[in-house]
Amino acid sequence: MIKSKQKRLIFCLASLLALSNFLFGSASLSATPIRQVSPLIRSFRLGASEQGRPIEVVQIGAGPRKLVIVGDTHGGPEANTYQLTLQLIAHFKANPENVPQTVSLYLIPTINPDGLALNSRFNAHQVDLNRNMNTNLDACPENDWQTTVHGANGIVSDTGGPFMQSEGESRLIRDFLLDAAGAIFLHSNAGLVFPAFCEHLPSIKLAKVYAQASNYQYNRFWENYPIRGNMADWASSLGIAAITPELTTGEESEFAQNLAGVEEVLAQAEDLLPLAQAQIENEITVPAIIWRYWFTNGAEAVFGMPLEPASQKPDGVIVQNFVRFRLELKPNLKDTPYYVQPAALGSERLQILAFQHPALQPLSPVVCKTAPCPLFFAQTGHTLRESFLSYWQRNGGLNLFGYPLSEEFETLTADGQLRIIQYFERAIFAYYPETKNVHLEPLGWQTLLLEKMQSSGATGQIR
Ligand SMILES: [Zn+2]
């Protein structure tokens, strides 16, 4: 019995792989970042899983309303959602005119290729990717992220991850959906559709329309057990209309049903997929996508508040200064993890340092025999340890802070105190012994002040 089941699964995965190769072509499995097929249809690699397997996307249409369909978050046991997404890709590639001009449709067959390959619900680190997101941003504490969570069939285990968005796959979703209007996270096998847990009308509306058109039951809530850190809840906290359809079986792709659901969503796109909105913070307008980046990556606690309205440079880059960072939105990096990123103010500051501190000189790799070991970055020859390492990992890592550019050393910080600090490409960390916390130096504010003193030239403001 078990053997024939395993054989069937292996056969199933082999035929899925063949279909995947057909849809993406073997070239897309190489490291080529973007492959333009035609103005309306393109395949590209979103990134890689924790074990280095490619995570692929197909885009159809280039309208302003970005709808993302995410298949197979739960790997092997929900491989039918992978198959379904591949079938949806084949369908819309053959019928691209079915995607309205106002929509860009993105389909990700699997966000968990490691779980699919290893026949596991979890990723390669045994983390449930649908419990690893930052769901602490909405008004509902019941769905806040925790390490100990309910998983399949209500089983309680420590699969939420060591911290929020600890997994590369979760971070790819977080960054790719920054400018999304709608998100459909496909799962199996409860046979129903439910919206984000916290009250969010666009998500509720989307779930009802999808359920009716696909003939699945609509449920306002997942009633079996509390779900924490899930993707739809995180997405809705940014204003994205987000739903979780659960296929009825664990084997069939239920293609016709779900195609009907997707087609109805596309037909009502203007009504169902809300465009991201600019927000007011500190009485200052923050452009929509910069606001989402700021909000989802820690808001005031990490970045501080905005200091002035955003401005646009001649090359189209939109820039806004916050107390600790300068955020830049680069239109040519849309659909990459670097669409919004902090400017390298730490690097700039280091270049103008008037003294040569020994801590700025690169080290050789550290020999460490007892954990926790410092992390050595061959790229810059510097190490990261203890409090600074923990803060770096938990609050955005490489994409947000960049590589360390110095070792730790003692110097005067912006508040006039002698503290241990460390330079990074995009930030300066400072350790406050009185609270045992890491703080970021107000680099955005200091840089802005310096520039104002140096020049009275102004760029056009965006309201
Ligand atoms: Zn699932």
CA distance 33 to 57: 11
- Dihedral (CA of 394, 154, 8, 185) sign: negative
Reported residue count of the chain is 463
Average pLDDT over residues 194-207: 96
Q: Can you tell me whether residue 76 is helix, strand or coil?
A: helix
Distance from Cα 182 to the centre of ligand 1, integer Å: 19
Fold of the 2-272 domain: Aminopeptidase (3.40.630)
pLDDT on residue 376: 94
Distance from Cα 439 to the centre of ligand 1, integer Å: 38
Distance from Cα 225 to the centre of ligand 1, integer Å: 14
Q: Looking at 27-41, 179-193, 206-220, 279-293, which range is the least confident one?
A: 27-41
Q: Which residues pair with 99 in a beta bridge?
A: none
Distance from Cα 297 to the centre of ligand 1, integer Å: 25
Distance from Cα 26 to the centre of ligand 1, integer Å: 28
Distance from Cα 74 to the centre of ligand 1, integer Å: 5
Q: Binning pLDDT at 50, 70 and 90, where does residue 21 land?
A: low
pLDDT digits (tens, 9 = 90+) for 259-291: 999 999 999 999 999 999 999 999 999 999 999
| pLDDT for 28 beyond 50 | no
And the tokens for 372?
């926790």
Closest CA to 198 of 217, 178, 220: 220
Distance from Cα 438 to the centre of ligand 1, integer Å: 36
pLDDT on residue 210: 98
Distance from Cα 61 to the centre of ligand 1, integer Å: 28
Please tell me whether the overall predicted TM-score, pTM, comes out greater than 0.85 for this model. yes
Classify 239 in phi/psi space as left (phi over 0), alpha (psi -120 to 50) or beta. left
Distance from Cα 125 to the centre of ligand 1, integer Å: 17
Closest CA to 111 of 159, 180, 53, 152: 53
pLDDT on residue 1: 39
- Name the residue ranges covered by the structural domains of the chain: 2-272, 279-450
Cβ-Cβ contacts under 8 Å for 385 (sequence gap 6 or more): 372, 374, 375, 408
pLDDT digits (tens, 9 = 90+) for 363-389: 888 788 888 889 999 999 999 999 999
> Where are the alpha helices (H) located in 121-254, listed in sequence order?
168-176, 201-214, 231-237
CB 424 within 8 Å of CB 403: yes
CA distance 377 to 393: 14
Angle at 49 between CA 47 and CA 52, to 5 degrees: 90
Stretch (H or E) spanning 107: strand 103-108
And the tokens for 43?
């395949």
Q: Binning pLDDT at 50, 70 and 90, where does residue 3 land?
A: very low
